[in-house]
Structure 1
Amino acid sequence: MMLAKKNNSKKRIQVNIDKDLVDNAEEILDKLGLNTTTALTMFYKKIVATDGIPFDLQLTKEQKANANLEDALKAVPQQNIKNNKEAEKVLFDDEN
């Protein structure tokens, strides 16, 4: 995030955000009768009023499950299988 002073009472904020995300958010804001500047001002005021981020920052159940799966997969030994015979040995050999 890049902050540049405009004057003593205002500060210009410049950020790079995914275009699709911005378009979707602006469509919702428009339906609410808000523009981006007003919405961000409201967000900043809420940060100050609550002395923190004004919403929970938590993973969804799906994100938690994906993270757990990724962690579990990291623990699985990886083998380089070159042909069907090697694949059958890995899959069906009781010693693996």
Structure 2
Amino acid sequence: MASTPTTTMRLDPELKDKAMRVLEPLGLNMTGAVTIFLKAVIREQGLPIDMNVKPDKTDESN
């Protein structure tokens, strides 16, 4: 079996802490969550989230 490479990420400690509090009840750790995200990137051939900028209500009158 091929060895799994180690990847290092720099994260804001507060962001990581908040994310872990959401992930733990789901039975996920950071590695599992990142793996799910990267598989979704491959499946979608891009980011698996809506990145559209919606106009302000003030912009709709123009």
User: Taking structure 1 as the reference length, what is the TM-score of the superposition?
Assistant: 0.50
| 5+ long unaligned stretches in structure 1 | 1-7, 63-96
1:14 match: secondary structure: coil
Change (3 A) 1:41 1:60: same
- CA–CA separation in structure 1 for the residues paired with 2:21 and 2:55: 27
| 5+ long unaligned stretches in structure 2 | 57-62
Q: What is aligned with 1:56?
A: 50
User: Taking structure 2 as the reference length, what is the TM-score of the superposition?
Assistant: 0.73
Q: What is aligned with 1:18?
A: 12
Q: What's the C-alpha RMSD, in Å, of the aligned pairs?
A: 2.2
Displacement of 1:58 in angstroms is 4.2
Look up the equivalent residue of 2:31 and give its one-letter code.
Answer: T
Percent of aligned pairs sharing the same letter: 33
- CA–CA separation in structure 2 for the residues paired with 1:60 and 1:26: 29
Residues 40-82 of structure 1 deviation map (CA, whole Å, 9 limit, x = unaligned): 11011001111011002245778xxxxxxxxxxxxxxxxxxxx
- Number of residue pairs the alignment of both structures matches: 56
